Amino acid sequence: MLQELHCGIPGVMVTMPKGLASTLFFHVYSGPNAIAFAQLSSRSENNHRRADSRHITNEEKLPGVSYCLKNIEVCQNYRNKGIGSALLDEIIDFCKNERVSEIYGEAKGDIPELRRWYQDKGFELDSVDNIQLSF
């Protein structure tokens, strides 16, 4: 599903997953060019689904489904323009709408700046830069 990414740059679109799966991908495009992406993976012990089902429906979801934010990347020429922040906002909204209980991961890179960025988005960080956002 392709929809506009509200980042202040016209024509930037994001593809969203169509429900929960073991791995979720979000892709951001400017015209035909991919400019950002994010990947989330679920904890295996939280995959409460039938063996023959690829996606988890609302009726099958149990409390405690959480996702690890594995990657969130923005192409060099598009950084510091609000795309990463808008993408993370979309991920958070998607997870809330799908009744995911938490997003967790690790802040990698420029740690002081990333720590502030994640904290501004509502994440808690521990002393070794693990991130967690519970809903």
Distances (CA, A) of 61 to 56, 101, 112: 6, 11, 36
pLDDT in tens, 44-83: 544 433 333 344 454 444 557 899 999 999 999 999 999 9
Which CATH superfamily, name and number, covers 2-47+64-134?
Gcn5-related N-acetyltransferase (GNAT) (3.40.630.30)
Q: What residues does each domain of the chain span?
A: 2-47+64-134
Phi, psi of 35 (to 5 degrees): -120, -10
- Exposed / middle / buried, residue 51 (Cβ in 10 Å: 0-12, 13-18, 19+): exposed
Instruction: Flag whether the pTM goes above 0.85.
Output: no
What amino acid occupies position 135? F
Which residue(s) pair with 121 in the sheet?
none
Please tell me which residue, 43 or 130, carries the higher pLDDT value: 130
- At 31, is the pLDDT very low, low, confident or very high (cuts 50, 70, 90)? very high
Per-residue DSSP letter, 46: G
Q: Please enumerate, as own/partner, the contacts of 60-64 that have beta carbons within 8 Å and a separation of 24 or more.
A: 61/20, 61/98, 61/99, 63/101, 64/101
- At 127, is the pLDDT very low, low, confident or very high (cuts 50, 70, 90)? confident
The whole-number average pLDDT for the span 2-31 is 95
pLDDT in tens, 97-124: 999 999 999 988 777 888 899 999 999 9
DSSP 71-122: EEEE-GGGTTSSHHHHHHHHHHHHHHHTT--EEEEE--SSHHHHHHHHHHTT
Residue 13 pLDDT more than 90?
A: yes
Beta strand pairing status for 2-4 and 12-15? antiparallel
